Chain A
Amino acid sequence: KQEVTQIPAALSVPEGENLVLNCSFTDSAIYNLQWFRQDPGKGLTSLLLIQSSQREQTSGRLNASLDKSSGRSTLYIAASQPGDSATYLCAVSTNDMRFGAGTRLTVKP
């Protein structure tokens, strides 16, 4: 059974700092990995999708990497802003999609 773990569960940083969120998974036979953002009381917004054959994807200040063999992905956020405050979830797809519990990020002005 695929298990997805996100560390840390919560993170607080000052504005402008670069930061890394971690995601690990137990079964490397995945189709892809997806990073989502969730604002309080809202649904999920897809940030980046990395196919199993890819090593990384970039969108603006966000960069996600994938190391399938070690079962790890990282989400790098450059020059963090208060508007980045949200919960970030990673999910891996095999026959279905399994989610981590998320990292709650707070960026302080």
Chain B
Amino acid sequence: NAGVTQTPKFQVLKTGQSMTLQCAQDMNHEYMSWYRQDPGMGLRLIHYSVGAGITDQGEVPNGYNVSRSTTEDFPLRLLSAAPSQTSVYFCASSPIGSYEQYFGPGTRLTVT
């Protein structure tokens, strides 16, 4: 099992550019989520999904889109990057009902 994988590990964008952060898991987990981690603020939930075709907003969803076409993949899209989106992004998954989350290694994004 690879667990939860994220690509890329590092990314630098210019303001206004768009990109997609990839997340995949091979544990057949129904629940997947995206977080951002900023210094001194812990992790904040951006979007989550309880299964293919179902997504919902978390605490800080503005500026981000998600889709869930398969159980395995949960990409996060930045439509028009802003410096405020400079952060470390983590993807996580868990089986429904367990709530024990497994995290990917993270993507460090810098927007200049």
Task: Report A's interface with B, CB cutoff 8 A.
Answer: 4, 9, 31-32, 34, 36, 42-46, 49, 89, 91, 93, 96-102
Cβ 8 A contact of A46, one of B41, B102, B106 = B102
Interface size range on B against A:
20 to 34
CA distance A42 to B40 in the complex (A): 16
A36 / chain B contacts, CB cutoff of 8 Å: 103
B58 within 8 A of A: yes
CA distance A93 to B40 in the complex (A): 20
B74 within 8 A of A: no
Chain A residue at minimal CB-CB distance from B3: A43
On whether the beta carbons of B100 and A46 are closer than 8 Å, the reply is yes
B53 within 8 A of A: no
CA distance A102 to B37 in the complex (A): 11
